[in-house]
Amino acid sequence: MRHAGGLRESDPGQSQYSPITQHEKIVAAMSKNGHFLSCIDGDERKGHIAARRGYQNIKARVEAGLTTAVYVVHSSRLGRDASERMTLSRELRKLGVPIYSVQQGELKDDLVGGVYALMDQQFSVDLAFKIKNALPQAVKAGQYPARTPLGYKRIWPEGQPYKRKQPALMVIDEHYGPLVQQVFATYGVERWTMRSIVRWLNGQVATYPNPDSPSGIWTIERLSRILRNPIYSGQIVWGKTKSGYYDHYEGEVLRSDEGDCGPSRHPPLIDDETWKAVQMRLQHEDQRRPPRTRRGRTPALLSGFLVCAGCGSHMHTKGGSADQGRHGAPYVCGARGRGQSDCRAPGCVLALANDAVLREVSRLRGTPWPPPPLETTIPPDPHAAERAAIEAQIAAAKREVDRNIKLLKLLEDPDKETLDGFRRDNRRLADEIA
């Protein structure tokens, strides 16, 4: 029997449902039921189930016949959308694959399973309602109720009496704070371009990696968000973006020192003169950049398909428009355009590249290439006999496991010696299969 375990951690550091805790409980539940873990998948993505990588991996293994049951530590780890949860249970039931929860037992697409799904969804609805009402009060009290921005960190106040809901203080980070100040100065005072700043930042990835990127690479989009964030000038602006799947804030935009909002509690990282210089330059560049539409544009057919000869990154049209110059915009190195590389390899004119590729496609379609037979291109497998013998041993071990499970089910009240022998045999067979 091949079983899969699903792990999901909505936020890093959750003690109740941490990946280690989930893994230990799932393995213990499988051992108790006489099952062994053949695959484990997980993700940290929030939101709907269907787009999650872990769910897609498990579904693909189920459809390929590689998984015969799915284990989770709690029903909420499958997701908190009731309709999607029931759809998932129904799809796996049609394939003959049950879902087991360590805490709740088998999850079915029946009345009990529907109640569990609705309870998990209602938890998200209640949580969204509480947060929606609490965040505006935090802003009015001068607190920043969002992710800690780059250049700041949060610490707990010292020397104060204990409070159950004591908010953390947002102070300047000793490591990234000077970096943010230097970025603002180079853009607003020294007049560097964003591409030059990003290239300079990526030259210091070992010391200052981008904390929002798994690779640590800086991008122009990330730099633009930093330069436009008013939190660095000591001002909190909250409520402009209406986000939230179940409930969201519908009131007016809240700003520090306006209306019933008090001053912000965090220290400004950028002085007022530098902040105004940066915002003035950003506004000027936004006005210079003309709006683009798709009407009347020559499509860049090879954008993202051509590869730079210098660094191997994908090439795109310079400036995003294909109607520039006599021959159109050139294809240039994408990494250089994003400021992630100092590549100096020449580009390729759009019209010439498109014509060359289209001519080659026409030639191949006119005289198609006949593929040679597989037996002439693939050498014989020297380990075929050994592989077949191992697969036969694994199949025999799996049949013995299934037979032991059936015999154990026939026993109404097996004694401890019988159960211990059953577990020893299952561990031995699991080791043989592994």
Alpha-helical regions (H) of 258-383: 272-288, 334-337, 350-366, 374-377
Buried b (16+ CB within 10 A) or exposed e, 187-225: bbeeebebeebbbebbeeeeebbbeeeeeebbbbeebee
Rounded to a whole number of angstroms, the distance between the first and last alpha carbons of the chain is: 12
Superfamily of domain 152-160+167-288 in the CATH hierarchy:
Putative Large Serine Recombinase; Chain B, Domain 2 (3.90.1750.20)
Confidence at residue 320, expressed as pLDDT on a 0 to 100 scale: 45
pLDDT at 1: 45
219 to 44, 97, 107: CA distances (angstroms): 23, 43, 44
Cβ within 8 Å of residue 210, ≥6 positions away:
201, 216, 217, 218, 219, 222
- Quote the tokens at residue 31: 């051992």
CB atoms near residue 370 (< 10 Å): 6
pLDDT at residue 195, rounded to an integer: 87
What does the angle CA 170 – CA 174 – CA 177 come to, to the nearest 5 degrees?
Answer: 75
pLDDT of residue 92: 80
Q: What pLDDT score does 322 carry?
A: 45
Per-residue pLDDT of the chain (434 residues; tens, 9 = 90+): 444 545 554 554 444 567 777 778 888 887 787 777 777 766 665 656 666 777 777 777 777 777 778 888 888 887 788 888 888 888 888 878 888 888 888 888 888 888 888 888 888 888 888 888 888 888 888 888 888 999 999 988 777 776 767 788 899 999 999 999 999 999 988 989 888 899 899 988 889 999 988 889 998 889 999 999 999 998 988 888 777 677 777 778 888 888 878 888 889 999 999 999 999 998 887 666 655 555 555 667 778 788 888 888 888 877 544 445 444 567 888 887 777 777 888 888 877 888 888 888 777 777 666 667 766 766 777 777 888 888 888 888 778 877 777 776 676 676 777 777 777 777 776 666 65
- C-beta separation of 146 from 170 below 8 A: no
CA gap 200, 205 in Å, rounded: 9
Q: What pLDDT does residue 9 have?
A: 47
Q: Give the separation between CA 237 and CA 82, rounded to whole angstroms.
A: 34
Q: What is the DSSP string of 199-213?
A: HHHHTTTTTS--TTS
What whole-number distance in Å separates Cα of residue 284 and Cα of residue 278? 10
Is-contact 77 8, C-beta < 8 A?
A: yes
pLDDT given for residue 323 in this prediction:
47
Q: Which of 6, 110, 11, 18 is nearest to 61 (CA)?
A: 6
| Beta carbons within 10 angstroms of residue 106's beta carbon | 11
Angle at 68 between CA 67 and CA 72, to 5 degrees: 80
CATH number 3.40.50.1390 is the correct assignment for the domain at 3-109: yes
Query: How many beta carbons lie within 10 A of that of residue 186, not counting itself?
Result: 15
Predicted pLDDT at 290 = 58
Q: How far apart are CA 430 and CA 401, in angstroms?
A: 9
User: Quick count: other Cβ atoms within 10 Å of Cβ 134?
Assistant: 11
DSSP element (H, E) containing 171: strand 169-172
In sequence order, the 6+-apart residues with CB closer than 8 A to the CB of 41 are: 4, 5, 6, 7, 53, 54, 55, 57, 58
Question: What angle do the packed helices 272-288 and 177-188 form, to 10 degrees?
Answer: 50
Contact 322, 298 (CB under 8 A): yes
Please spell the DSSP secondary structure of 259-288, one letter per residue: TT----SSPPSS-HHHHHHHHHHHHHHHHH
Task: State whether residue 4 is helix, strand or coil.
Answer: strand
Half-sphere CA count of 258, side-chain side, radius 13 A: 9
